[in-house]
Each structure stands twice: as structure tokens, then as C-alpha cells.
Amino acid sequence: MAVRRDAVANIIVCVKQVPDPEAPPSAFRIDDGGKRIADSPGVSSVLNGFDENAVEAALRIKDAAGGRITVLSLGSAFAADVVKKPLSMGADDLVLLQDETFDDLDSYGTALVLSEALKRIGEFDLVLCGRQASDWDNAQAPLGIAELLGIPCITVAQKVEINGGVVVAERVLSGGYEVVEADMPALVTVSNELGEPRYPTLRGIMTAGRKQPTVWSADDLGIDRARLERRIRIMDLFLPVRDRQCEVIQGEDDADSGRLLALRLREEKLI
């Protein structure tokens, strides 16, 4: 791997377009094959939330020490406004890995294609990912990318800084955090504890609109499709019905309801 050691860092952020995870559950539909979530009007496409945190982490590094941020996204179809959002936040370049065969990849295939693209980009110091994609909640692709490239992997970071050729990160633990470091090139996955991603500026949106993404297909990357065969196969996908009968306690007014609730819970020996 060719790694440049300039003053400023080359940062690659991997972002995924996903169905809005905060759409109401009732808006989700399973398609006829029973294996994927169907497009539906109530569920728009958004950038994976943790990937926005990763973009923010990259921008903070760039603000502090300079750097060039390339956004990398893999899929079979993209909404321009979704995948261009990181550019409007301040990222520099966008590379789209787009191919019909990328429509049905598991974590292994995803990591393989992304790692091939990273090899092709060649010059990078730091790869930032989200801690997990909110569609399949796998939290696996980044580990796979790092394995396939043989680079260090730090997961679930709330702070990422670079210091010379070393990345230093705070890794979230239950009830605290752990400071870890690794030589670059390295990969770090970012969590929401990092803090709110910045809003795109008007100027950012206009610049992003003019930027043309670089698009690579499976052939451009020289990927042998046989290697993309699923290791994890989906047998069934379904929407569980949750409807516990809730006993609604209704008093004369809100205060009375609160009092009655306590009495009811005592009756049930819950308090």
C-alpha cells in the first residue's frame, strides 16, 4: 500500500445510504421475496447516522490540522442529495462504488469491495466508518476492511485525533472510556458520543452540487464476483407484531392519574 506522509492527512470516510431508521415501524414493508425491506413512501433514504458522526470526526481533524477528506460509498443506487451531504458539510471528494452486483452483499462482500477501493485509492492515513449501519446493524464491515487490509482497527470511538503518524482515540466503554492509539494507516469506527454532526452550509451545498463523484464498478475494481458470494444467507425477514395490551390508567386529571398509577402498581406488587 502506498502511504503518503505529508503534513496533512488523507482521510477516507465510508458512508452508507440507509432507509430512515426513525421512520415509524408501521411505515416499513417487507418486499415479496421476504428478504429485504421494500421501498416505501413513508421511509426516506438518509445517510447512516453514525457515518455522519464519522464525517464530523474527519472534519474536526481537518479543522485542527488540515487534511483531505474523501467520502466512499458502496451501493447499487444512490440518491444524490444523500451521498453528497458529506461534501456539503465540508468533505472534499466523493467516490461511489456502484454496480448491480453490489445490491445484495453481506458484511464479507461489503468489506471486500470497500477494501479493494481503498487499495485503489492507495494514499490514505485514516479510514473512518460509523460504528454500525442502522439497516442491518451488523457492526462488521469496518472490522473486515481492517482485516483485509491488515491495518489496525479501533471501534466505537467518541474522539479521534492524529498526532504525527499515530491515531489516538477514545473508545466508549460502559461507564467510561479507554484511550488507545495505533500507527497509521488505521481504521476507526465512530459513535454518536462524538457529538452532533455539523449542518451543511449554504455555500457547502452549492459547492457539493457542482462536484462530480468518481464512479467505479465491480469491473473497474477488478473484483471477481465469485468472491462476493454470501457467507450469511437471509432465510426470512419479518416485522414482529408488538401489541402488549396496555392498561391505561385514567384519573380525573393528570395528577390523579399519577396517584392511581402508583396504587395500581402496588396492587400488582410491582412497588
Partner 1 sequence: MVDVLAFGEHAGGKIAPITADLIAAARGVGGRVAVVLMGGDLTGLEAQTAPLGVDKVYTVQHPLLAGESVDMLVSALEQVCRRVQPRVLLLGKTAIGRDVGPCVAFRLGVGAAQDSVAVEAGGQTGRIVATRPVYGGTAMAKVTFGSSNPQVVIMRPGAVERGSVPGAGEGVAEEAEAIEVELDESIRKVRHVETVRKESERMRLDGASVVVSGGRGLRGPEPFAMLEELAGLLGGAVGASRAACDAGWVDHSYQIGLTGATIRPDLYVTVGISGASQHMAGCSGAKRIVAINKDADANIFKEASFGVVGDWSKVLPSFMEAVRDLVRS
Ligand X SMILES: Nc1ncnc2c1ncn2[C@@H]1O[C@H](COP(=O)(O)O)[C@@H](O)[C@H]1O
Nearer to ligand FAD, 70 or 132 (CB): 132
Site track 49-88 with ligand FAD (rule: CB under 6 A), x = hit: x---------------------------------------
Which of 99, 106, 116, 125 is the binder for partner 1 (CB under 8 A)?
Answer: 106
What are the strands, taking DSSP E only, across 5-125?
9-14, 17-19, 45-47, 67-75, 93-98
**Interface pattern 76-105 for partner 1 (x via CB under 8 A):** ------------------------------
Peptide bond into 185 cis (omega under 30): yes
Alpha helix positions (H), 125-199:
141-149
Does position 87 bind ligand X by CB under 6 A?
A: no
Residues 15-54 that bind partner 1 (CB under 8 A): 19, 21-22, 24-25, 28, 30, 37
- Residues touching ligand X: how many (CB under 6 A)? 23
Q: Are 132 and 46 in contact (CB under 8 A)?
A: no
Find which of partner 1, ligand X, ligand FAD, none residue 130 binds, CB within 5 to 8 Å per kind.
ligand X
Question: How long, in residues, is the chain?
Answer: 271
Q: Which of 7, 32, 196, 222 binds partner 1 (CB under 8 A)?
A: 196
- Copy the grid coordinates of residue 255: 395528577
User: Considering beta carbons, is residue 90 or 109 the nearer one to ligand X?
Assistant: 109
In angstroms, the CA 10 to CA 5 distance is: 9
Using CB under 6 A as the binding rule, the residues of this chain from 1 to 60 that contact ligand X are: 14-16, 48, 50-51, 54
Residue 21 touches ligand FAD, criterion: CB under 6 A: yes
CB of 132 to ligand FAD, least distance (A): 6
The SS3 of residue 229 is: coil
- Segment near partner 1 (CB under 8 A), from 82-90, 92-100, 207-215, 250-258? 250-258
* Distant-in-sequence, close-in-space partners of 96: CB < 8 Å, separation ≥ 6: 73, 74, 75, 78, 83, 213, 214, 215, 216
CA gap 94, 131 in Å, rounded: 20
Q: Three-class SS of residue 82?
A: helix
What is the rounded distance in angstroms from the CA atom of residue 209 to the CA atom of residue 87? 9
What residues line the site for ligand X (CB under 6 A)? 14-16, 48, 50-51, 54, 72-75, 107, 110, 129-130, 132-133, 136, 138-142
